[in-house]
Chains A and B, each alone.
Chain A
Amino acid sequence: MPKGLLETQSCCYIFDGQQVRIAFILILETSAPSCAEMMNRVPVVLLACGSFNPITNMHMRMFELARDHLHQTGKYKVIKGIISPVNDRYGKKGLVAAKHRVAMVQQALQTSDWITQEPWESQQEQWVETVMVLRHHYNALFHRYQAMNGTSLESTSTLQRKHKVEPCSAQSVVPRLKLLCGADVLKTFDIPNLWKDEHIEEIVQKFGLVCISRGDVDPQRFIYESDILFKHRHNIHVVREWVVNDISATHIRRALRRGHSVKYLLPESVIDYIQQHNIYTAESEQQNIYENLQPLKSQSSMINLLND
């Protein structure tokens, strides 16, 4: 089993280059895939980064849509979803303290059996680039996979019984970690200095993208017009959102400032939390108003160094 070991400046990760056996199975409208079929599929974990300021039904929908889409290709089985709220030092206007944003996500995920939250990114000292968040979580997944399937001489079934793992959930391969985002994020790849080109390439090549499109942004055209994206287009899944759903967190914060109802747009528990802690006000919206976004700061300071 060939393995590629790559070392980067800030962290180290292992890329599994093994060819994966993929079974193409046609899924009929009414039949659910059998256990055996599911085992042949590539396991996928979806990671959504973002402000989650606050988390809304639209964020929750993204996961549902992505999972349906990947399942219905017949190739993948989505085993987990991860929400990773951005670090406070991102410097976005109106970004409230991570402690609250994390708490609200926690509230929202109470009713979910497959989506979890990882506050690692928000707990770091500095703002963390998306690609590093992906690497971090991939490492964690890989280590877990090793622990479950490792180099033991025991048979898989014995191991499963030992670790009380459901046969269907046993992974014959390391799960793929894909970045889940809206089409608007894809569009930001264009903004000068917001993303490093090498990072974009790594995201689409090594990991993969699941991009939810609302129809207002045309992701296909965007992919076509970018050399990097086009090269790895097989690793970019565009999912069309059939419910035109513009529940952006910005709209929500505006509605809250104006005393308008946001019922049925966010989970009830999140609304309760917001009201209890009085999180979103005119003042909170002024947060970081004189700041530049962190990624834009880092890029320009690098350029200055070079000029020396």
Chain B
Amino acid sequence: MEKSSCRTEVVLLACGSYNPITNMHLRMFELARDYLHETGKYTVIKGIISPVGDAYKKKGLIEAEHRLAMVNLAIEGSDWLMLSSWESQQKEWVETAKVLRYHCKNLDNATNNEKKNTSQRKKAKKRKIEEKNDSSQEAKDLPELMMLCGADVIESFNVPNLWKQEDIEEIVGKFGLVCISRPGSDMEKCVYESDVIWRFRKNVHLVTEWITNDISATKVRRALRRGQSVKHVIPDTVIEYIQKHNLYDLCSENKNANVILAPFQRYSMSTDFNGTWNMVSNDNLNAYMQALDIDFAVRKVAALLSPQKIIEQKGDSFTIKTISTFRNYEVQFVVGEEFEETTKGLDNRTCKSLVTWDNNKLKCVQNGEKNNRGWIHWIEGDKLYLELSCEDQVCKQVYKKVSQA
């Protein structure tokens, strides 16, 4: 029998608001499946729809409970599409890369369980006539998980603070992308212009949707507000549900109107360093101190410390205090003005230091006896990041803001 054992099994995962689900979302899966099958290399075994959680705070995003219900209605009777409510059930917004990792792990577990069951069954069959089947059951590889999305998602990779660079790399590098776009949208150019995507272009599958079907959920919601028909654009059962529960009006569209989107909240770099920050993590401190020729005894003690940073910032004028049970250190400077710094209590050297703004990061170069010496401070959300370098060693520290009384 024709065995697709030389083909890789693929599971498609499409994240999104699904606010509401439309025929276009459903088409994406069909197009992706046809495309991958025709390469001769893949068999698509499953499609997963993962609606985003309410904590994403997108304008007009209605409760997850409804959005999930509508997806269920839309895929009723489908033999390969399924709904995953995991992402929407998490309290905080979950990065797409995390969702992919979660489902990947799920697939691994499921496949491993299958392998276990298969081998158990095989043991039971030991006494029976040997199987005629080939060994493809035994050699069942893990199915590949690929992200399915529209061209707008790829284009959004460029929006500042919307995606973490490492996440983009993980998505295209470790998983793979199937991107559906309209004719003429030039996704190839998009791939070419991004170094990260270019590097992993073998994992990026561009599918052109020749039968244009540009049903954005935004347009659907607008039509519903205006009492216009959305028949044949979203499934009939979804229309009934919307009418029954009276979803989508002016009020629902204004939800989250003044709220910042979750990724922006999380990733945006504030330039207000004021506050007290407690250490959360400290990486490679020992090697950094060694590069500074700090002696063994001090290093031993320092490794046990959990210092606190107290930062006072008035305009470009800073005072940074590092408080610990062992030693305290204070440095004062004005951004852009070179000053003489003596690292008393640390390595006791004198440097000519200069702090400058590098985008939203505070960067310090400490010119002196040691090469390549300096530090970088920056803020993401409620975390303060500090990287201390000396020669080829970098110590990475993370602090969390102590809430103001």
Contacts and interface: CB of A to CB of B under 8 A. Distances in A.
Interface of A: 29-30, 32, 57-58, 60-61, 64-65, 67-68, 72, 111, 242-248, 251-252, 255, 259-261, 263-265
* A30, A252, A259, A260 interface centre (most CB from chain B within 10 Å): A260
Nearest to A265: B211
Contact of B33 (A64, A65, A261): A261
Interface string B226-239: 11110111001000
Interface of B: 23, 26-27, 30-31, 33-34, 210-215, 219, 222-223, 225-229, 231-233, 236, 249
A64 B27 contact: no
A64 B34 contact: no
A265 B233 CA distance: 9
A30 B251 CA distance: 13
A61 B211 contact: no
Contact of A242 (B27, B212, B223, B225): B223
Given A64-B231, A111-B236, A245 B226 contact: no
Nearest to B236: A111
A16 to B, nearest CB: 30
Contacts of B30: 260-261, 263-264
7 contacts: A64-B231, A111-B236, A243-B214, A243-B233, A255-B211, A263-B30, A265-B211
Contacts of B227: 29-30, 32, 68
Contacts of A58: 232
Given A61-B231, A67-B229, A264-B26, 16 more contacts: A29-B226, A58-B232, A60-B232, A61-B232, A68-B228, A242-B223, A243-B213, A244-B213, A245-B214, A247-B213, A251-B211, A252-B211, A260-B30, A260-B34, A261-B33, A263-B30
Contacts of B228: 68, 72
Contacts of A30: 227, 249
B212 A245 contact: yes
A263 B26 contact: yes
B215 A243 contact: yes
B74 to A, nearest CB: 9
A32 B227 CA distance: 9
A68 B213 contact: no
Contact of B233 (A29, A61, A248, A251): A61
Contacts of B214: 243-245
A244 B27 CA distance: 14
Contacts of B219: 242-243
Given A29-B226, A29-B227, A264-B23, A244 B212 contact: yes
B229 A65 contact: yes
Given A245-B212, A246-B211, A247-B213, A261 B34 contact: yes
Contact of A246 (B33, B213, B226): B213
B7 to A, nearest CB: 16
A251 B210 contact: yes
